[in-house]
Amino acid sequence: MTTSHPFTASVFIGTSLDGFIARKDGDLGWLTSRGEAAGDDLGYQDFIDGIDTVVMGRGTYEPALTYDPWPHEGKHVAVLSTTLEVGADPRVTVYRDLDQLIDGLAERGTKSVYVDGGQIITTFLRAGLVGEITITTVPVLLGTGLPLFGPLGGDVPLVHRSTKVFGAGVVQSTYGVLRQEEDPAG
């Protein structure tokens, strides 16, 4: 497990009540429509203002290419992928694996990372790299889709920091990730 790294990494993500971040075909309408109905930016601007680097998987990068304008202007964007062509998109840096990514972020003097995409979040959790998780849950069950979390290789102890209730039944909770030795149940 990776434990020594120079940056903090945070998750800020929207899910269905049953823990999906997108339908299997990538559809996000069930999330964006409810987010808009909440009538608030759900704390996103405050969160992103404290971030210098966005790390995402190819599965999150490719849909983001359809957004106009590019949603990550002004941030360093790192994409984990074994298949994307390196250097093809000047707005992002492609890394082939987690070790290469961590070295690259350290070399850049990265301080605060926004980790996005279910597989990448799981990879970061497994490596002990995530410090805080904010999950915005919208009131719908999808039954199937792309999951937020995958197998973690062990429990990840959390401490609850806050819960806010927005309009349209949108609920947002923030948790700190404890190190194993901090786990009160451990």
| Residue 113 lies near ligand NAP (rule: CB under 6 A) | no
Q: Does position 129 bind ligand NAP by CB under 6 A?
A: no
Buried b (16+ CB within 10 A) or exposed e, 116-125: bbbbbbbbbb
Shorter beta-carbon distance to ligand NAP: residue 4 or 83: 83
Q: Is residue 16 exposed (0-12), middle (13-18) or buried (19+ Cβ within 10 Å)? A: buried
**Residue in this structure with the two tokens 């971030």, named with its chain if needed:** 51
Nearer to ligand NAP, 65 or 186 (CB): 65
DSSP, residue by residue, 91-117: TEEEESSHHHHHHHHHHTT--EEEEES
Q: How far is the CB of 43 from ligand NAP (least distance, A)?
A: 13
Q: Measured from the CB of residue 9, what is the shortest distance to ligand NAP in angstroms?
A: 14
Site string for ligand NAP, 56-95 (x = CB under 6 A): xxxxx--x----------------xxxxx-----------
Please select the residue that binds ligand NAP; options are 37, 127, 135, 146, rule is CB under 6 A. Answer: 146
**CB of residue 121 vs ligand NAP: minimum separation in angstroms?**
7
Of residues 167, 76, 74, 70, the one with CA closest to residue 114: 76
Query: What is the distance in angstroms between the CA of the first residue and the CA of the last residue of the chain?
Result: 18
Name the site residues for ligand NAP (rule: CB under 6 A): 13-14, 21-22, 26, 28, 31, 56-60, 63, 80-84, 96-98, 116-120, 123, 146
